[in-house]
Amino acid sequence: MRGKYLLRLPAHSGPAPLLAGFHGYGQTAEDEFNLLCSIPGAERWFCCSIQALHSVYTQAGNPGASWMTSRDREQHIEENVCYVDAVIERLRSLYCVNDTLGFHGFSQGTGMACRAALLGRHRAGHIMLLGGDIPPELSVTDRMGRVHLARGCRDRLYSRERYERDSARLQEGGIAFVASDFIGSHRANEAYFNAAGAFLAESCTRET
């Protein structure tokens, strides 16, 4: 198994929490890395962007990666979860990463963030989901920690219906969550970063 991740160390020395991120379809680790590092307060965290294992080309002909394909789906899910577990274990062995762990996913990466939390070996304190849904086959449990569920009000890929369905699933599962329906489309913008930064700050305060 070959993979790639990008890591930014926290601005201060000493132990710090880890925020691991997962990009959208056809994107790369660099795309998610830039997103993570733009969240206010993320400089206090180890920010790690993990690139998907499956190479693809976008409609524009640009190389990227994908977390999921329709063929051998269950095998890919298992491989992806083991891959993420291995990255987290490696980071904890190399750096002063404390026990606080958060996952962030954008678009297709939201499914990977949920699977890493619910199926992986490392318990998350929180999950941040932007522009993508919770996989319907997963059982929502407290292994997700607190959830930040965000959608741009003009997002045509992650519809309001799916957003409201995910909100209902979290509420029915008794999961503490913040729903953020910000002004924007299928991407992060200043409104999203402000909401995400506030959630991240509150999550860090709760876990210290």
Mean pLDDT (the chain) is 94
Q: Could you tell me the pLDDT band of residue 1, with boundaries at 50, 70 and 90?
A: low
Q: Does residue 184 contact residue 158 with C-beta atoms inside 8 Å?
A: no
What pairing do the DSSP bridges indicate for beta strands 146-152 and 177-182? parallel
To the nearest 10°, the Cα dihedral for 63, 90, 150, 164? Answer: 100
Asked whether the predicted pLDDT for residue 2 surpasses 90, the reply is no
- The confidence score (pLDDT) of residue 24 equals 96
**What is 4-203's CATH topology?**
Rossmann fold (3.40.50)
Asked whether the predicted pLDDT for residue 33 surpasses 70, the reply is yes
Asked whether the predicted pLDDT for residue 149 surpasses 70, the reply is yes
- The confidence score (pLDDT) of residue 160 equals 97
Q: Cα separation of 54 and 64, whole Å?
A: 9
- The confidence score (pLDDT) of residue 206 equals 67
Please, which residues bridge with residue 101 across strands? 18
**Average pLDDT of 54-67?**
86
204 vs 50, higher pLDDT: 50
- The confidence score (pLDDT) of residue 208 equals 54
pTM: 0.94
Give the range among 68-72, 149-153, 176-180, 195-199 with minimum mean pLDDT. 68-72
Smallest CA-to-CA distance from 103 within 36, 34, 19 is with 19
**Average pLDDT of 107-131?**
97
Asked whether the predicted pLDDT for residue 82 surpasses 80, the reply is yes
Q: Could you tell me the pLDDT band of residue 58, with boundaries at 50, 70 and 90?
A: confident
- The confidence score (pLDDT) of residue 207 equals 62
Q: Cα separation of 116 and 166, whole Å?
A: 17
